[in-house]
Amino acid sequence: RTLRIGLIPGDGIGREVIPAGRRILEALPASLNLKFSFVDLDAGFETFQKTGSALPDKTVDTLKKECDGALFGAVSSPSTKVAGYSSPIVALRKKLDLYANVRPVKTTAGSSNGKPIDLVIVRENTEDLYVKEERTVEGPNGKVAEAIKRISERASHRISTIAGEIALRRQGIREAAPGTSSHSQPMVTITHKSNVLSQTDGLFRETARQALAAPRFSSVQVEEQIVDSMVYKLFRQPEYYDVIVAPNLYGDILSDGAAALVGSLGLVPSANVGDGFAIGEPCHGSAPDIEGQGIANPIATLRSVALMLEFLNEPDAAAKIYTAVDANLDEAKFLSPDMGGKATTQQVLDDVLKRL
Amino acid sequence: RTLRIGLIPGDGIGREVIPAGRRILEALPASLNLKFSFVDLDAGFETFQKTGSALPDKTVDTLKKECDGALFGAVSSPSTKVAGYSSPIVALRKKLDLYANVRPVKTTAGSSNGKPIDLVIVRENTEDLYVKEERTVEGPNGKVAEAIKRISERASHRISTIAGEIALRRQGIREAAPGTSSHSQPMVTITHKSNVLSQTDGLFRETARQALAAPRFSSVQVEEQIVDSMVYKLFRQPEYYDVIVAPNLYGDILSDGAAALVGSLGLVPSANVGDGFAIGEPCHGSAPDIEGQGIANPIATLRSVALMLEFLNEPDAAAKIYTAVDANLDEAKFLSPDMGGKATTQQVLDDVLKRL
Ligand SMILES: CC(C)[C@H](C(=O)O)[C@@H](O)C(=O)O
Ligand SMILES: CC(C)[C@H](C(=O)O)[C@@H](O)C(=O)O
């Protein structure tokens, strides 16, 4: 099987980590019978400055027509408002209907000095406040701006369903390798704020409950947590959680919070998942403070490559990458500066590649 | 001076901690020349079940006409949707125009095993998604619900101004007691998500920048942080932050997150502050799991009493309470179960009272 992968480095360190993602795909063992072809695609703030569009039509078209998956690096946010600019990744998620943003956060055997953390945040990726329907009116006491938070039964249902499926799949992997996880049963925690937003978050909550009540999820324990206490609990007992499903914005916030628990955003991958398509995307941003120094941590990207492969139905290739990355972290000889080490992007990558 | 204080225990452990709040006011040294009178007021889910209203008009009227301040305990959220019920504290904040929700989070000298944390979250308390303007339509693919997120220049300006004032006041207290804090300069961090919500959160950000550019805040360092990275940073380097100002919902989430950093929600106070009025409110909820056992931690309430007194211009009385509470925590002899101790609510209270 040959997979065609779009490469969208974007801005900042996106350009330093996406090449590492390409390299690991090229370096996968031949025994997997997987080949890759690549196409370079533009998006980001620099693209906007050059072309007037942060997400050129060509990028979207090529992804739709030619590609099986893609890797997205990062985009810079301008530090002051720039007319006409808006985030290309948010647009891409909607244009390709990549309805789930999957963000696993875990400690490796060697890295966890406390209890092992092994959770995944499944974030709805197309609606909520991210519909970006805003307006501003000039009132008697100054400006008043409003934004729409939209929650639909359809999107809530499909995100909850994929959360349930991910919980079952994780359980399958755990059963195949006993002793590697602290979870004995699949669990999904529904996050919302329905005590204030009874209609929108209430709809999310009820729909999630319904979706997860389907017979095929009968082995999945279903719990819920109000978003503010979810953040509290996430920090007090992260080891308790397995799959957390949340509307878009809460998922955004929770995944950064969870990343803090494992030491560095530079470790945390994500995949933007739709039907038959996935874009791997490291959770860190464009990191202007370290741009161009060759010291960006490539691990989040390497894990995002693996996650993309999982959703393209290549679990064996994904497992190879995860294992190599975990071995690099556990040996802790080649770590990038965000992890307290001195290794460059290239050195971390080389160390992972040699373990493939 | 005699202050009349409304007591609104609400539900659950609210009824166990609010009496402790009353006791500490009564026990303040006579040298302060402060007297208190009290009026018991109803609100909460049980009140709703009895009377059909979670926040009786009488409660609001009495607060408005007779009281200088109040203490609010907690309310239970029903576990399934109950027609007609909505949170009385959210309504109270709006009806009394208590526009700032002030939530200090700090470690005491003895309790911090890491770096000392000494920050305060200043949360806008009247708008954002808490306007609760929601509607649901039945579409071709099922239900679609929408909520309004409203951000006004006026509310953003006044919350930022009070945040700046709190930063200056904290700096004054630090200068009067050098060596008690890691901060050398007042700082306000503006939290928002204007990279997605350019109009609403953009308005919050710009207005906050303007408000804090006023000459009287010239000694205040002003920074900003996107809400997701704010959560990340809060966990990676909480000691860095002084005052964090945020729209309502982000403030809600951030303050629970910050509470996790100091070990227990049972320690974290808040004050709902308007012009000339303040309601002290512990940040923990009604805690149905420990209700009726007499083991709720009264510290969050005692500190909320102090915070209320600060905003009623009684800083000396407030300082007495803070010092007594810190001494209890530092000695760590009478700690409630949430803190790993065995003391009852009454024992913790008695220990604090004897240190007044
Ligand atoms: C850059 C920003 C628009 C984006 C988001 O909010 O989704 C980022 O925070 C993320 O989590 O991928
Ligand atoms: C109970 C709930 C409505 C409330 C809020 O969201 O404001 C609570 O979480 C708080 O922080 O005081």
> Cβ contacts (< 8 Å) between B200 and chain A: which residues?
134, 145-147
- Residue B229 Cβ contacting ligand 1 at under 6 Å: no
Rounded Cα–Cα distance for residues B205 and B230 (Å):
14
Question: Quick one: pLDDT at residue B21?
Answer: 98
Q: How far is the CA of B232 from the centre of ligand 1 (A)?
A: 13
- Residue A87 Cβ contacting ligand 1 at under 6 Å: yes
Task: Note whether B147 contacts A148, CB cutoff 8 Å.
Answer: yes
Q: How far is the CA of B339 from the centre of ligand 2 (A)?
A: 22
Rounded Cα–Cα distance for residues A100 and B260 (Å):
28
* Best residue in B159, B232, B236 for a mutation probing chain A (most A CBs within 10 Å): B232
Q: Which ligand is nearest to the CA of B14?
A: 2
Question: Quick one: pLDDT at residue A86?
Answer: 86
Of residues A143, A154, A202, nearest to B141 (C-beta): A154
- DSSP per-residue codes, B173-217: HHHHSTTS-S-SS-EEEEEE-TTT-TTHHHHHHHHHHHHHTSGGG
Tokens 């799949």 belong to A169
- Give the number of the atom of ligand 1 that is nearest the alpha carbon of residue B195: 3
Q: Is the pLDDT confidence value at B307 over 90?
A: yes
> Closest residue of B to A135, CA-based?
B199
Q: How far is the CA of A269 from the centre of ligand 2 (A)?
A: 31
Q: Count other C-beta atoms under 10 Å from residue A348's C-beta.
A: 26
Task: Note whether B145 contacts A87, CB cutoff 8 Å.
Answer: no
CB B172 within 8 A of CB A114: no
Rounded Cα–Cα distance for residues B301 and B304 (Å):
5
Average pLDDT, 10 consecutive residues per value, chain A (356 residues): 97 98 98 97 96 96 98 87 86 96 89 79 98 96 97 98 97 85 91 96 98 98 97 94 98 95 92 96 94 97 98 96 96 95 98 97
Give CA separation, A110 vs A115, A177, A226, in Å: 11, 17, 32
3-state SS, chain A, equals CEEEEEEEEECCCHHHHHHHHHHHHHCCCHHHCCEEEEEECCCCHHHHHHHCCCCCHHHHHHHHHHCCEEEEEECCCCCCCCCCCCCHHHHHHHHCCCCEEEEEEECCCCCCCCCCCEEEEEEECCCEHHHCCEEEEEECCEEEEEEEEEEEHHHHHHHHHHHHHHHHHHHHHHHHCCCCCCCCCCEEEEEECCCCCCCHHHHHHHHHHHHHCCHHHCCCEEEEEEHHHHHHHHHHCHHHCCEEEECHHHHHHHHHHHHHHCCCHHHCCCEEEECCEEEECCCCCCCCCCCCCCCCCCHHHHHHHHHHHHHCCCHHHHHHHHHHHHHHHHHCCCCCHHHCCCCCHHHHHHHHHHCC
CB B313 within 8 A of CB B301: no
> Cβ contacts (< 8 Å) between B134 and chain A: which residues?
197-200
Q: For residue A249, which of B202, B159, B126, B226 has the smallest C-alpha distance?
A: B226
**pLDDT above 90 as % of chain B:** 90
Mean of pLDDT over chain B: 95
Q: Where are the beta strands (DSSP E) in chain B?
A: 2-10, 35-40, 69-74, 100-106, 118-124, 134-139, 142-152, 187-192, 221-226, 243-246, 271-274, 277-280
Residue A224: both structure tokens together: 């819920």
Question: Quick one: pLDDT at residue B99?
Answer: 98
CATH code for residues A1-103+265-356: 3.40.718.10
CB B275 within 8 A of CB B153: no
Please give the single-letter amino acid code of residue B227: V
Please give the single-letter amino acid code of residue A172: G
Question: Quick one: pLDDT at residue A82?
Answer: 80
- Architecture category of domain B1-107+263-356 in CATH: 3-Layer(aba) Sandwich (3.40)
Question: Quick one: pLDDT at residue B224?
Answer: 97
Question: Quick one: pLDDT at residue B263?
Answer: 82
- Residue B195 Cβ contacting ligand 1 at under 6 Å: yes
Q: How far is the CA of A266 from the centre of ligand 1 (A)?
A: 15
- Give the number of the atom of ligand 1 that is nearest the alpha carbon of residue A281: 12
- Residue B117: pLDDT band with limits 50, 70, 90: very high
Tell me, yes or no, if the two domains B1-107+263-356 and B112-261 fold the same way.
yes
Please give the single-letter amino acid code of residue B142: G
Residue A148, beta-bridge partner list = B148
> Cβ contacts (< 8 Å) between A228 and chain B: which residues?
252-253, 255-256
Neighbouring residues of B216: CB distance < 8 A, sequence distance ≥ 6: B164, B168
Question: Quick one: pLDDT at residue B78?
Answer: 77
**pLDDT above 70 as % of chain B:** 98
Question: What are the φ/ψ torsions at residue A87 (nearest 5 degrees)?
Answer: -55, 120
* Best residue in A227, A236, A253 for a mutation probing chain B (most B CBs within 10 Å): A253
User: Which DSSP letter does residue B10 get?
Assistant: E
For residues B181 and A201, which has the higher predicted lDDT (pLDDT)? A201
- Residue B113: pLDDT band with limits 50, 70, 90: low
Rounded Cα–Cα distance for residues A300 and A104 (Å):
11
Residue A112: both structure tokens together: 């966890």
- DSSP per-residue codes, B131-185: G--EEEEEETTEEEEEEEEEEEHHHHHHHHHHHHHHHHHHHHHHHHSTTS-S-SS
Question: Quick one: pLDDT at residue B110?
Answer: 62
Question: Quick one: pLDDT at residue A89?
Answer: 94
Q: Count other C-beta atoms under 10 Å from residue A113's C-beta.
A: 7
Beta strands B243-246 and B69-74: pairing type? unpaired
Q: Is the pLDDT confidence value at B111 over 60?
A: no
Tokens 């974007």 belong to A10
Question: Quick one: pLDDT at residue B228?
Answer: 96
- Give the number of the atom of ligand 1 that is nearest the alpha carbon of residue A75: 1
Neighbouring residues of A259: CB distance < 8 A, sequence distance ≥ 6: A105, A265, A267, A268, A283, B232
Q: For residue A249, which of B252, B105, B207 has the smallest C-alpha distance?
A: B252
Question: Quick one: pLDDT at residue B204?
Answer: 98
Task: Note whether A86 contacts B261, CB cutoff 8 Å.
Answer: no
- Domain ranges in chain A? 1-103+265-356, 112-261
Average pLDDT over residues B153-169: 98
Interface contacts A/B by beta carbons within 8 Å: 170
Of residues B130, B197, B259, nearest to A196 (C-beta): B130
Average pLDDT over residues B156-183: 91
Question: Quick one: pLDDT at residue B178?
Answer: 78
Question: Quick one: pLDDT at residue B76?
Answer: 87
Question: Quick one: pLDDT at residue A113?
Answer: 59
Q: What is the dihedral of CA B38, B39, B42, B43, to 10 degrees?
A: -50
Q: How many residues appear in chain A?
A: 356
CB B131 within 8 A of CB B151: no
Q: What is the pTM of this model?
A: 0.95
CATH fold of B112-261:
Isopropylmalate Dehydrogenase (3.40.718)
Neighbouring residues of B77: CB distance < 8 A, sequence distance ≥ 6: A195, A226, B45, B87, B285
Neighbouring residues of A161: CB distance < 8 A, sequence distance ≥ 6: A211, A214
